Every structure is written in structure tokens, then in C-alpha cells.
């Protein structure tokens, strides 16, 4: 627990050593020949893209990085990472000059985009690396697997493009739907066989996401993509908490403490009714800082190592915790929204279950507002 107010009203504590150890454990799960791509899209799942990418790059914890869009890729290049950076989602043709200038790798699943990219690469006198994204049946983007042989043949004929990689998103692995997982892998393997017959060499095949890394070693291929596990967040059907640690904790402070009599009503529209004598703490965090707190009336927080139920709905910049049973609570005390305090803990998984967004969405709990300061621990 902190003893001063140096961290402000609310903050996240992100343990770099935890992320480092999680990545080391991922390395141990794959063969020595299998590369690791660290997914740091969406500000590294809320953990801070700049700091996380620097650690990964400087310490050689991954072989490549993946982001969602051009803007994230440009940010990485401005930070100074020299690792290969794959852009996972769609890129517009007007962004092609920046792709080439900053040596980023686009995902390609449109022949129109591929031809424009080839034209620009020819003007610059370079061979542009690309990865082809294949839709094996459960994604909204990518080349349909049935059309992919012809697509790859056409792209391979574009002289200034180099097909460095091919990948698909193993969506079914998140629900452990084994028959669908193996169907996706079968479709991809059939495609790879056809590519081999055409004598087209694609050196990197990457399929496995976090759950597939653990549950489906046959999906590892040449490279795995790790996001959720790297940050120690929960997976729907695999118990990872004993092996992979959670890197982020969200904390705030008690602003004020007040006693309320039975029968009092307060809050917006006076909807919150007090059934008995209560002591409430006002906590310095609201849904501006953490959007999931819009559903805060289903949650607990930790104060002095004990659970305190949240009373009513969070405000934009504060929430109310029932501390009637926590007699020694004081103004300025640390409040843990998720994380550990003494022998008690609250995880993003618990929060996601309580607010009914599903465990596959528990990473969204880490997507916090700009009013939340990041504190890095090593």
C-alpha cells in the first residue's frame, strides 16, 4: 500500500517484471524454432504501448510486434523500436506511402490494395514485405480460404511485393470448440499444401493466439501471437492464474467518509435507498477513469484488505463504497479496484463476470481513460 499521495487520485500499477516473466514462460511453451509476436495493439491492452514495446525490444523478449492500425505502427517507429511491426487490420491505400517510409508490414487481403502497394513500392525501388490474412470461416476480414489460392497466385506475380507471412485468426480457440479449431487448422493446412504445389515459399505461418498456445500445440507453426497471456489476463477455459501473473492493478483513494441514517435516499434521481445505518467512503475514481464502472453497483473494492461493496452507480469521477464493517478505514486510504491487497484480490475476470460481459472480454477491463496515471514497477 502507498503511504503518500504522490500517485494522485487514481492510478494503475503495471509490473514490468510480471510481463517479462509471462513472456519467458511463453517462450518455454513453444519450440526453439518458433518465433513469438507480442500483440501490443490498443495501447498494449491498456498497459501502455510505449513502455511495453521498449522493454520487449530492448530485452529481446519477442521477435516481432503486432498492432491494429497505421497510427499505432507509426507510434512504435517514433519510439524507436527496430522490431518488425505487423499491422493486423485494414489499411487504406492513401496510407501506403507511410507504410513504406516507416518499414511497417501490412496485412493484405484485397487485390486492389496489393496492386496499389506494389505500384508505390516500385516507385520507391524497394521490395515490400506483406502478410496475407486468411479467413478460415470465423472472421469478418481476410481472404476467404476458398479464394486464397488464386489470390496468392496473383499477389505473388506482383514483382515488388514479398509474401513474408500468412496467418489466420483462430477465433474458435477462445471457446475451446475443438471441432471448429481443427476445422480451421484443416482448411489452413489444405491451403498451405496448395501453396507448396505452386512452389511459392512463404517463410512465416502464424495462427496460435493465447489460448491456442496452451491448448493446441499443433497450431504453433513458425510463429505464435501472444496478447492476453502476456499481460496475465484470464482465458475462458484454461486456468492460467497459477502460472501467468496479472500485470496491472487499478487503485484509487478514499476522499471522504460519511455516516448515513436509515431511510435516506440519494444519488441521481434519488434511486439509492439506505435500509440501515451505513458508513460510506467516497472513492476517487469513476467511469471517466474506468468505463466498466458504469456497472459498478455489481462490484466490490478492497479497503484495508477487506471487500467493500460498491453502493449504487459510480459517478463520472467517484464511486461510493460501503465501509460499515471496515471500522479502521481513513481518508487517504488506498482502494484497490482490481488487484491484490493483503490476502484478498479482485481480478478482471471476476469483474467481467459480475458485470456480465463474458470472460473473453475481460481484457476490456484494462482499457482505461486518460485520467488514470500509469505507474511502472520493476
- Closest among 349, 139, 138 to 235, alpha carbons compared: 349
DSSP letter, residue 208: -
Residues in CB range of 189: below 8 A, 6 or more apart: none
Distance of alpha carbon 99 from the chain centroid: 23
Distance of alpha carbon 357 from the chain centroid: 15
Strands (E), 214-247: 223-226
Q: Do residues 214 and 7 touch, judged by C-beta distance below 8 A?
A: no
Q: Is the dihedral of CA 328, 333, 337, 339 positive or negative?
A: negative
Would you please indicate which residues are annotated as catalytic (active-site) residues?
41, 268
Distance CA 153, CA 111 (A): 11
Environment class of 70 (CB within 10 Å of its CB; exposed 0-12, middle 13-18, buried 19+)? buried
Kindly give the pairing relationship between strand 300-303 and strand 334-341. antiparallel
Query: Scanning the structure block, which residue is given the C-alpha cell 502460472?
Result: 243
Task: Write out the DSSP string of 26-48.
Answer: HHHHS-TT-EEEEE-HHHHHTT-
- Closest among 63, 69, 113 to 87, alpha carbons compared: 69
- Closest among 66, 40, 51, 41 to 14, alpha carbons compared: 51
Distance of alpha carbon 145 from the chain centroid: 27
CA angle 165, 32, 161 (to 5 degrees): 15
Environment class of 31 (CB within 10 Å of its CB; exposed 0-12, middle 13-18, buried 19+)? exposed
Q: Give the residues across from 38 on adjacent strands.
A: 65, 226
Cα–Cα distances in Å, from 184 out to 36, 207, 284, 344? Answer: 21, 10, 47, 41
DSSP letter, residue 311: P
Amino acid at each position: 500500500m502507498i503511504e503518500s499521495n504522490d500517485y494522485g487520485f487514481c492510478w494503475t500499477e503495471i509490473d514490468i517484471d510480471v510481463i517479462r516473466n509471462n513472456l519467458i514462460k511463453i517462450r518455454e511453451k513453444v519450440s526453439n524454432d518458433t518465433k513469438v509476436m507480442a500483440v501490443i495493439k490498443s495501447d498494449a491492452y491498456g498497459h501502455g504501448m510505449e513502455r511495453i514495446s521498449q522493454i520487449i525490444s530492448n530485452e529481446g523478449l519477442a521477435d516481432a510486434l503486432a498492432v491494429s492500425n497505421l497510427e499505432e505502427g507509426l507510434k512504435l517507429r517514433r519510439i524507436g523500436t527496430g522490431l518488425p511491426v505487423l499491422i493486423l487490420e485494414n489499411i487504406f491505400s492513401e496510407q501506403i506511402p507511410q507504410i513504406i517510409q516507416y518499414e511497417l508490414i501490412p496485412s493484405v487481403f484485397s487485390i486492389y490494395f496489393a496492386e496499389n502497394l506494389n505500384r508505390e513500392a516500385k516507385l520507391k525501388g524497394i521490395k515490400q514485405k506483406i502478410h496475407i490474412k486468411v479467413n478460415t470461416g470465423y472472421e469478418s476480414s481476410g481472404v476467404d480460404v476458398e479464394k486464397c489460392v488464386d489470390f496468392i497466385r496473383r499477389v505473388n506475380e506482383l514483382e515488388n511485393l514479398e509474401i513474408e507471412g500468412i496467418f489466420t485468426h483462430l477465433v474458435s480457440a477462445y471457446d475451446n470448440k475443438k471441432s471448429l479449431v481443427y476445422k480451421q487448422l484443416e482448411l489452413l493446412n489444405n491451403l498451405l499444401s496448395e501453396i507448396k504445389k505452386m512452389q511459392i515459399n512463404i517463410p512465416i505461418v502464424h495462427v496460435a493466439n493465447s489460448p491456442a498456445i496452451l491448448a493446441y500445440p499443433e497450431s504453433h507453426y513458425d510463429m505464435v501471437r501472444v496478447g492476453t497471456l502476456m499481460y496475465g489476463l484470464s482465458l475462458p477455459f484454461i486456468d492460467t492464474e497459477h502460472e501467468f501473473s496479472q500485470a496491472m492493478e487499478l487503485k484509487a483513494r478514499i476522499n471522504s467518509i460519511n455516516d448515513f441514517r436509515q431511510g435516506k435516499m440519494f444519488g441521481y434521481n434519488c434511486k439509492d435507498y439506505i435500509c440501515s445505518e451505513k458508513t460510506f467512503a467516497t472513492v476517487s475514481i469513476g467511469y471517466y477513469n474506468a468505463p466498466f464502472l458504469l456497472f459498478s453497483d455489481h462490484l466490490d473494492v478492497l479497503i484495508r484488505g477487506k471487500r467493500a461493496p460498491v453502493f449504487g452507480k459510480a459517478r463520472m469521477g467517484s464511486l461510493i463504497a460501503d465501509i460499515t464493517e471496515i471500522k479502521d478505514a481513513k481518508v487517504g486510504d488506498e482502494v484497490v479496484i482490481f488487484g491484490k491487497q493483503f490476502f484478498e484480490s479482485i481480478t478482471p475476470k471476476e469483474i467481467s463476470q459480475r458485470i456480465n460481459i463474458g470472460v473473453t472480454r475481460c481484457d476490456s477491463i484494462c482499457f482505461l481513460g486518460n485520467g488514470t496515471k500509469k505507474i511502472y514497477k520493476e
